[in-house]
Amino acid sequence: MIDLNFKYKELIKILSKEAPFTPDVSLILGSGLGDFADRIEKFKTISTTSLPGYPPSTIAGHEGKIHFCKFSGKNILIFQGRIHFYEGYPLSQCMLPVFISYKLNTKKIFLTNAAGGVNLNFSPGNLMLISSFNGMNIKKELTDLIGITSFEGKNNFKNFPSESFNNIIRKASKETNLSLKEGVYWYNKGPAYETPAEIKMVAKMGGDAVGMSTAHEAVFAAYLGMETSSVSLITNMAAGISQNKLSHKEVTDTAILAKDKFEKLVKMILLHI
């Protein structure tokens, strides 16, 4: 088992010293959504390659930077890029942005991702508020789920995902006149995209979108007591629904087209936090 406090002691020490403020909210940017970090005021930027033990990102669209930003009087911690299980890292390392947020005393965390649409009422470019995740028995001991032990936690699963945070996101979508879908995010560990047969199974079991991140981050953040909400950008329809061959380029291309819409929503969310 892994003691994150011990494993990342030096990393947390460095970031605690470098942090210009205590963040009001942390934001993890998914595939193709990293441009948002360049659209608000930055106070300090730290390359993750300069931090001891921080896994390097190997995926296009994930810059590997941590930004301390300001917007409308709010202190924001932005992770421009995330760590994926399919890159070959254990889930305990994939939790690092969440763990850093917690150790810097962040109370809220907003997770974003690019996802494949399963719900036939969705189309590329839609935004989906995640109402639930598949395969996540959140009462299951976290040691079984991600192999972590010996850390302080709140075990706060009574309000997961955070309904108050979700309501802020719903309000923000109305005020920006943006359509916001809601649905179940089905986590797949990757690295391969799902097959058409798997997508049929996901649809029958109630999944609305599929992806390779976020679920474990959300569970861990909730366990640590942070208010947690997540939004997916539907960048493509999943295998068997789309007639096109799936590719990461399609994911990033659609995210680029949707970045203005995404920026409007996130900035309005930050105004209401």
The owner of tokens 């907003």 is: 110
What pLDDT is attached to residue 211?
A: 92
What pLDDT is attached to residue 151?
A: 47
Q: Cα torsion for 30, 39, 222, 135, to the nearest 10°?
A: -20
- The SS3 assignment for 123 reads coil
Tokens in use for 127? 């935004």
pLDDT tens profile 173-203: 999 999 999 999 999 888 888 888 999 999 9
Cα separation, 117 vs 125, in Å, equals 10
What pLDDT is attached to residue 160?
A: 72
**Model confidence at 138: pLDDT above 60:** no
Structural domain that includes position 82 = 2-272
We report the CATH number of the domain holding residue 28 as 3.40.50.1580
**Model confidence at 146: pLDDT above 90:** no
What pLDDT is attached to residue 244?
A: 63
Report the mean per-residue pLDDT for the chain. Answer: 85
Scanning 53-206, the segments in alpha helix (DSSP H) are 91-94, 96-103, 142-146, 163-175, 196-204
Q: How confident is the model at residue 60 (pLDDT cuts 50, 70, 90)?
A: low
What is the identity of the amino acid at 250? E
**Model confidence at 238: pLDDT above 80:** no
Residues in CB range of 240: below 8 A, 6 or more apart: 195, 196, 197, 199, 200
What pLDDT is attached to residue 167?
A: 96
> How large is the average pLDDT for residues 9-13?
97
**Model confidence at 54: pLDDT above 60:** yes
Paired strand residues for 67: 45, 78
Residue 1 CB coordination number (10 Å): 8
> How large is the average pLDDT for residues 7-25?
96
Answer for the pair 81, 66: CB distance below 8 angstroms, yes or no. Answer: no
Q: Where are the beta strands (DSSP E) in the chain?
A: 2-3, 25-29, 41-47, 65-71, 74-80, 108-117, 127-133, 148-149, 180-187, 209-211, 227-237
Cα separation, 249 vs 262, in Å, equals 18
**Model confidence at 140: pLDDT above 70:** no
Tokens in use for 58? 């190997």
**Model confidence at 4: pLDDT above 80:** yes
pLDDT tens profile 81-91: 888 888 888 88
Higher pLDDT, 8 or 245: 8
What pLDDT is attached to residue 99?
A: 96
Number of domains within the chain: 1
